[in-house]
Amino acid sequence: MIRNVLKMGDPRLLETSSPIAQFGTSELDALVRDLLDTMLHLNGAGLAAPQIGVGLRVVVFGFKFNSRYPDAGEIPETVLINPVLTPMGLEQDSGWEGCLSVPGLRGEVSRWRRLRYEGYDANGNGICRDVTDFHARVVQHECDHLDGILYPTRIRDLQRFGFVDELTPTRVAESE
């Protein structure tokens, strides 16, 4: 079912979410299905449970091609529960991010370039992956939602924050 996505300003987006205690339940399956349906409907690169008003540590992400991030490579569709992130090395990358809870805007955010993420799928099977670049960025962005962090609070230079339509010429110039 496609769910309503909460927008920045809703206090539920600022809360710390609780871990999932039981896997393989019909409630968890329904939550995961709703997250995937909603993400696909809105062309999101990812979505976290608090964004649909559910304060549980569940995120989904992945796409083959994403029209909101046309330069990004494929990321496998992933359900990640109770995630633990470990940066691999000290290297950070700046990149533009958007968020379905902050529609129409983009901002430049610094993230770990290399990352290990661990967690579980909806049946309780373990997941462990080492990733880099946009894949690592998406995971960090989604997992931030579980701690009540929205990307605008991570922007260091607020001149690098604005509406997608207005920023596009700048972004094109930078990539050339």
Based on DSSP, count helices (H) and strands (E) in the chain, helices before strands.
3, 8
User: Cβ 98 to Ni ion, closest distance in Å?
Assistant: 8
HEC profile of 105-134: EEEEEEEECEEEEEEECCCCCEEEEEEEHH
Residue closer to Ni ion (CB basis): 28 or 139: 139
Give the contact letters, 86-105, x = binds to Ni ion (CB under 5 A), - = no. -------------x------
Q: How many residues bind Ni ion (CB under 5 A)?
A: 1
Nearest residue by C-beta to Ni ion?
99
Residue 142 annotated as catalytic: yes
Residue closer to Ni ion (CB basis): 104 or 124: 104
Cα distance between residue 125 and residue 109, in whole Å? 32
Neighbour order of strands in the sheet with 58-63: 46-48, 58-63, 75-87, 114-120, 126-132
Q: Which of 91, 142, 166, 174 is catalytic?
A: 142
User: Cβ 57 to Ni ion, closest distance in Å?
Assistant: 15
Sequence-ordered list of residues with C-beta below 8 angstroms from that of 5, at least 6 positions apart, any chain: 38, 42, 47, 51, 52, 100, 101
User: Cβ 146 to Ni ion, closest distance in Å?
Assistant: 11
Residue closer to Ni ion (CB basis): 88 or 150: 150
Residues designated catalytic: 142
Give the residues lining the site for Ni ion (CB under 5 A): 99
